[in-house]
Amino acid sequence: MLSFDTIVARATPAGKGAIAVVRVSGPNAFAMVDGLLKSKISLKNSHTAYLRQFFDAEGMIDEALVLLFKGTKSYTGEDTVEISVHGSDYIVNRLITALLQQGCRVAEPGEFTQRAFLNGKLDLAQAEAVADIIAAEHRFAHDQALKQLRGGFSDDISSLRDRLLHFTSLIELELDFGEEDVEFASRDELTHLVQNIKIKVDALKDSFALGNALKQGFTLVLAGRPNAGKSTLFNALLNEDKAIVSDIAGTTRDAIEDRLFIEGLSLRLIDTAGIREATDVIEQQGIARTFKHIEMSGATLYIFEAGTLSVPDLQADLQELSSKTDRIWVVANKMDSFSGDIGQYSDVVARETQLPMWQISARDRLSVLQFTKELAKRFEVDLGILDDQTVVTNARHANSLLICSQELQHILDGIANNLTGDLLSFHLRTAIRALSAITGDIDNEEVLGNIFSKFCIGK
Ligand SMILES: Nc1nc2c(ncn2[C@@H]2O[C@H](COP(=O)(O)OP(=O)(O)OP(=O)(O)O)[C@@H](O)[C@H]2O)c(=O)[nH]1
Ligand SMILES: [Mg+2]
C-alpha cells in the first residue's frame, strides 16, 4: 500500500436529508475519528458498525453510526471510516471541521477513487466507470457503466494485450540472437494474430460513435413531407399533446424536441417542419432547420402517408436523405385509411435502406405501442447493443483504441515489407502501451489528475 495523508469529505449531496455520510480515509483515519469520541471503538474489527456520540470543544455534535473498514478491505484500500450523521449541513460542517482539527485534510474531487486506483483496488477503466455509474440516467448508460465497473471491459483489453505481449517477447528474443538469423516468431502466425486482434480493436473503437450517442442521449429526428403525420406520431410517442396537429400542410414550422425513454434508452426526439418547396420565408427557414437536424441525427425516422405519396417520390426522398445521414428508418403512416398494395413501397424501402419498413397508424394507440416495441428492438439488434456486447462509451478509451489500431496496421504493413524485428517490436510495444493506458498502466500524473478531477467531491 502506498502511504498517504488522511482525507475527509462528505459523500452525500449537500442539503437536508435523513442522513448524510462523511467519509474519512487514510493511515490515521481510525485514530482521528476516535479522537472525537468519549466511548472508544475497537479498532480490531473491520466491517463493524458502532452507534457513537461525537464531540468537539463546544460539546456534542451528533449521535451517529460509525462504519469501520480496515486496510485492504476498504474501497480505497486503506483504513476508512464512514460516519452517518443526521442529514444537516450544519452537523456535517461541524463534524468535518472537528476532523480537520484532528489532522485530516479535505479530499480533492475523486480522491477516494484515485486512492482505490493507486492502491490497486480498481484499474483505471473501472475507476472511470464509478463516475459513469453515478452519472447514468437510463438503463443503457447504467448497464455499460456496471459492466465496466465489474471489470468485463478491462478483461477484454487485458487479454488482447497479453496476446501481443507474448509475440513481442518472441520477437525480442530474436533480437538477442542478433547475427544468427533465427525466427522465433513466425511471420505468418504474427500476421494472423495481429489481424485477429485488429478486428477486435476496431470493433471496440467503432462502437464508440454509437456508445457515446447512446450515453449522451441518441437523437431521433421525425422527418417527411407535410401532413405525413410527424407531429401526430411525436405526440403519441411522448403521450402528450405537445405539437400542433392539423390537416393543413405546413403546420409545424419550427423544430420541437423532448426527451423520450424507451426500453431503458434515453432519446432526444425531434419533430420537424415538413419538407416541400417552401411557400414563405419562415417555412423556408423551418425546412432548413429540418435538414440541419437530419444531418446531426443518430437516426432519422422518415414518415410518409401511404397512398398519397407516389412510389417514385418515396424513392427520390430516400435518395436525397441518404446524402445527409447514414441511418434512415422508414415508417408508412395512416395504414388505417390505406387499402392499396403496400408491397411496392416496402420494396423501395428495402432497396434504399436495406431495412424493413414499419406500417403504422399514428392515430391509433395500439399501433404506436407496437411500433415503440419494434423501435426498441431495432436499437438492440440492428445497432448492436445486445446485453453481452461491450460498447465503448469513454472518449479516452476510444482514442487509445485508435492509436492501437494504427500501430497494428503499421505492423501488418511492416511484416508485408519485411520490416526488421526491432521496428516490429517498437510498433508492438506502442500498441501494447495504448491498450495498457486504458486500464491504467500509465505513469503520467497529469493524465491521472485530469481523469479524477472530473469526479465529485467525496467519491
Ligand atoms: N387517418 C389518419 N390520419 C392521420 C394519421 N396520423 C395523422 N393523421 C392526420 O394527418 C394530418 C396531419 O397530421 P400532422 O401530424 O399534423 O402531420 P405533420 O407531418 O406533422 O405535418 P406538418 O407539420 O404540416 O409537416 C392530421 O389531420 C392528422 O390527424 C393516421 O394514422 N391516420
Ligand atoms: Mg407537424
What would the pLDDT profile of 257-313 be if each residue is shown by its tens digit? 999 988 778 899 999 999 998 889 999 999 999 999 999 998 999 999 999 999 999
Burial class of residue 160 (count of CB atoms within 10 Å of its CB; 0-12, 13-18, 19+):
buried
Of 211, 160, 215, nearest in space to 438 by CA:
160
Q: Which amino acid is at 245?
A: V
pLDDT at 76 over 60: yes
The answer to whether residues 245 and 252 touch, using CB atoms and an 8 Å cutoff, is no
Specify the ligand 1 atom closest to the Cα of 226: 25
List Cα–Cα distances, 87 to 63, 117, 169, in angstroms.
12, 29, 57
pLDDT at 179 over 50: yes
For 276, phi then psi, to 5°, come to -165, 180
In this prediction, residue 176 carries a pLDDT of 73
In this prediction, residue 450 carries a pLDDT of 66
The answer to whether residues 56 and 98 touch, using CB atoms and an 8 Å cutoff, is yes
Q: ∠ at Cα 256 (219, 275), nearest 5°?
A: 85
Ligand nearest to the CA of 335: 1
**Distance between CA 405 and CA 425 in Å, rounded?**
15
Specify the ligand 1 atom closest to the Cα of 228: 19
In this prediction, residue 383 carries a pLDDT of 67
Three-state SS at 15: coil
Least confident range of 146-150, 249-253, 299-303, 389-393? 389-393
Q: Say what the pTM is.
A: 0.74
Q: ∠ at Cα 450 (446, 456), nearest 5°?
A: 145
For 213, phi then psi, to 5°, come to -60, -40
Q: ∠ at Cα 428 (424, 433), nearest 5°?
A: 150
Question: What does the pLDDT look like over 161-177, one tens digit per residue?
Answer: 988 888 888 888 777 77
Distance 314 CA to ligand 2 centre (A): 19
pLDDT band at 402 (very low <50, low <70, confident <90, very high): very high
pLDDT at 228 over 70: yes
The answer to whether residues 327 and 298 touch, using CB atoms and an 8 Å cutoff, is yes
Burial class of residue 388 (count of CB atoms within 10 Å of its CB; 0-12, 13-18, 19+):
exposed
The total of other beta-carbon atoms located within 10 Å of residue 24's CB is 26
Ligand nearest to the CA of 229: 1
**Sign of CA pseudo-dihedral 34, 37, 43, 49:** negative
Ligand nearest to the CA of 235: 1
pLDDT at 455 over 90: no
pLDDT at 215 over 60: yes
In this prediction, residue 442 carries a pLDDT of 61
Question: What does the pLDDT look like over 315-356, one tens digit per residue?
Answer: 999 999 999 998 999 999 999 999 999 999 999 999 999 999
pLDDT band at 384 (very low <50, low <70, confident <90, very high): low
In this prediction, residue 2 carries a pLDDT of 57
In this prediction, residue 173 carries a pLDDT of 78
Write out the E strands in 376-450.
none
List Cα–Cα distances, 405 to 155, 160, 321, in angstroms.
18, 12, 32
Distance 296 CA to ligand 2 centre (A): 20
Of 100, 114, 112, 130, nearest in space to 35 by CA:
100
Of 274, 269, 275, nearest in space to 240 by CA:
269
Question: What does the pLDDT look like over 30-56, one tens digit per residue?
Answer: 999 999 999 888 777 789 999 999 999
The total of other beta-carbon atoms located within 10 Å of residue 175's CB is 13
Average pLDDT, the chain: 90
In this prediction, residue 1 carries a pLDDT of 47
Reported residue count of the chain is: 459
Which amino acid residue places its CA nearest to atom 30 of ligand 1?
Answer: 334
**Distance between CA 332 and CA 19 in Å, rounded?**
54
- Axis-axis angle for helices 230-238, 365-381 (nearest 10): 80
Least confident range of 138-142, 145-149, 255-259, 413-417? 138-142
List Cα–Cα distances, 61 to 64, 93, 301, 409, 437, in angstroms.
9, 10, 59, 63, 45
Q: Which residue ranges have their beta carbon within 6 Å of ligand 1?
A: 226-232, 245-247, 249-252, 273-274, 333-334, 336-337, 361-363
